[in-house]
């Protein structure tokens, strides 16, 4: 009998419960933006290796995953918040905040 550890079981459950939503979805938005081939898999753990501190690694992970609270996102939760950047009045997206 093959035993499955808790982490592997959790991953399998998440994949099974969300199979329909995950079907056809890219593993990272950066494939298109950086023209990364499908066989090249993301390695997120490098964001947390020295000399980076945990806080910097967390910010980088959030940026790469699109998990930062910018006005375009916040305005969907709170309609009283404008989608505009406070400096230039263009839509404040993650790309706009860090790249433009």
Judgement on whether residues 63 and 46 belong to the same structural domain of the protein:
yes
Answer whether residue 5 shows pLDDT above 90. Answer: no
| Sequence-ordered list of residues with C-beta below 8 angstroms from that of 39, at least 6 positions apart, any chain | none
Confidence of residue 88 (pLDDT cuts 50, 70, 90): very high
Strand, helix or coil for residue 64: helix
Confidence of residue 47 (pLDDT cuts 50, 70, 90): low
Please tell me the predicted confidence (pLDDT) of residue 81. Answer: 94
Judgement on whether residues 54 and 75 belong to the same structural domain of the protein:
no
Answer whether residue 56 shows pLDDT above 70. Answer: yes
Judgement on whether residues 45 and 62 belong to the same structural domain of the protein:
yes
Domain-located, residue 37: yes
| Sequence-ordered list of residues with C-beta below 8 angstroms from that of 33, at least 6 positions apart, any chain | none
Domain-located, residue 13: no
Judgement on whether residues 32 and 63 belong to the same structural domain of the protein:
yes
Domain of 75? Answer: 68-100
- Which whole-number Å values give the CA distances from 79 to 33, 71, 76, 82, 95, in the listed order? 29, 10, 6, 7, 21
Tell me how many domains the chain contains: 2
């Amino acid at each position: 009998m093959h035993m499955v550890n808790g982490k592997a079981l959790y991953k399998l459950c998440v994949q099974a419960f969300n199979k329909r939503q995950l079907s056809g979805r890219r593993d990272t938005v950066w494939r298109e933006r950086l023209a990364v081939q499908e066989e090249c898999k993301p390695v997120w753990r490098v964001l947390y290796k020295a000399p980076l501190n945990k806080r910097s690694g967390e910010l980088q992970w959030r940026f790469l995953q699109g998990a930062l609270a910018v006005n375009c996102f916040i305005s969907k939760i709170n309609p009283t918040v404008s989608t505009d950047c406070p400096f230039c009045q263009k839509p404040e997206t993650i790309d706009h905040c860090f790249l433009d």
